[in-house]
Amino acid sequence: MLLRSMFAENYRSLRSIRMDLAGVNLFIGENGVGKSNLYRGLQLVQAAVRGHFAREIAEEGGMASAIWSGSRRAGKPARIRLDAELMDEERAITFRYRIEAGFRPPKAAAGFAYEPEVKEEELTVETGRRPVTVMKRAGPGILVRGERGRMADYPEQAMTSETAISLLGDAGHYPEIGSFRRAVDQWRFFHGFRTDRDSPLRMPCLAITAPLLDESGFNMAAVFATLRHTRQDTVDLDRATADAFAGAYLDVPEPGQFAEFSLVLPEFPRRPFSPRELSDGQMRFLALAAALLSYRRPRFIALNEPETSLHPDMLPALAAMIASAARESQIWIVTHSELLAAEVHRRCGVRPRRVIRREGATWIDGMRQTGLMADEGDQESS
């Protein structure tokens, strides 16, 4: 499924912003403008699907830290609202999910101080006619559309910090909800990778077939082994490694109990370098290669400042991997690097969206309130 648009309101620096999205979405901006908050909003949608929404907000410091701190419309409740619209292109079905969360009432018997209280949720499905509501939640009560097409009370009420989308998905009786959940659960967000001495990237991992990279990177060696020995296709990986490291290649032996790899540099052809010997930049590039070139690429991949610790000479190779992944995945990139943005633009034909602050809130330079960029709107009207 393609993520067609997102909306966020009252979340951190996102006062109210809606964006239409493309196959490759490239964001560039200065520190402190809120670039990361944009896709962090999408992460919270995924957390709602997985049943971790309250925990994610609590880890941010609770609602007081997560909610927009600027002025709000008088008489309107203080709530974080997140919307995501997905399009199943094969079946021509549009899914729209909305979640609203606010503060727990001061004297509420249920819940804890740093938890959000989920106030409302709704999932609608559209197949060419008017949207049809398949799930709606207000407070603890949940309404769900049954097999006969009628809305009925779900027999179990949600706790104040639980999400209905996670409860109903587990029930297994609602195919539309299950389809939406599976799509969002497969999204991958790569904020950066630990490269310290004890980083999971530097450790051998159990030799278990790994079709895609875990967000922590702990199964990177297994991803490489799966490409080399199961798929038997490492053309893109070999090209990226050679381009980034001046002709180097990965040595990935047939796994035993553990999967391992080493980097062979052209100046030392008989001296493979283990992950513990590689630099932070080398390890980060290899982790990005595993994320972007895995056996089964996620339908949505978000990269936060992937240029961190990379030598500028590696950025063309990184952009080439992004272009390769974009043939199968929707890509979201947040970067400070003008060079990386230019390389992605050259290979993918997408112009960077410049993230700015407008009246204290995160905004996209040149974007209209509808979520379209000004030049996109002009093209549509011509």
**Tens digit of each residue's pLDDT (9 = 90 or more) over 223-275:** 999 999 999 999 999 999 999 999 999 999 999 999 999 999 999 999 999 99
Q: Which of 120, 117, 113 is nearest to 98 (CA)?
A: 120
In-domain check, residue 378: no
Residues 134 and 252 reside in one and the same domain: no
Q: Do 147 and 222 fall into the same domain?
A: no
Write out the two tokens for 346: 């050259």
The last residue of a domain, from among 186, 208, 238: 186
Residue 343, domain member (yes or no) = yes
268 and 248 both lie in a single domain: yes
pLDDT score for 381: 40
> Which CATH number belongs to the domain containing residue 237 in this structure?
3.40.50
196 lies in which domain range? 189-351
In this structure, are 170 and 225 located in the same domain? no
Q: Are residues 276 and 214 in the same domain?
A: yes
Answer yes or no: do 324 and 256 share one domain. Answer: yes
Is 34 a domain residue? no
**Residues 123 and 108 grouped into a single domain:** yes
- What's the pLDDT score for residue 109? 60
Question: Of 160, 186, 212, which residue sits at a domain end?
Answer: 186
Q: How many domains does the chain have?
A: 2
Domain identity same for 197 and 261: yes
Distance CA 105, CA 161 (A): 13
The tokens for 179 are 């389809």
Q: Give the pLDDT confidence score for residue 75 in this predicted structure.
A: 72
Angle at 4 between CA 154 and CA 81, to 5 degrees: 50
Indicate whether 207 and 300 sit together in one domain.
yes
Between vectors from CA 370 to CA 134 and to CA 379, what angle results, nearest 5°? Answer: 115
346 shares a domain with 238: yes
pLDDT of res. 373: 75
Regarding whether 197 and 172 lie in a shared domain, the answer is no
The pTM (predicted TM-score) of the whole model is 0.91
| CA-to-CA dists, residue 34 to 42, 203, 345, angstroms | 14, 34, 22
CA dist 11 → 46, 53, 67 (Å): 15, 13, 5
Residue 347 domain-assigned? Answer: yes
- Is 123:43 a contact under the CB 8 Å cutoff? no
What pLDDT shows up at residue 77?
Answer: 83
Instruction: Let me know whether 182 and 227 are in one domain.
Output: no
The whole-number pLDDT of residue 128 equals: 79
Q: Could you report the per-residue pLDDT of 3-46, keeping only the tens digit for each? A: 999 999 999 999 999 999 999 999 999 999 999 999 999 999 99
Name the stretches of the chain with pLDDT < 70.
107-111, 170-172, 375-382
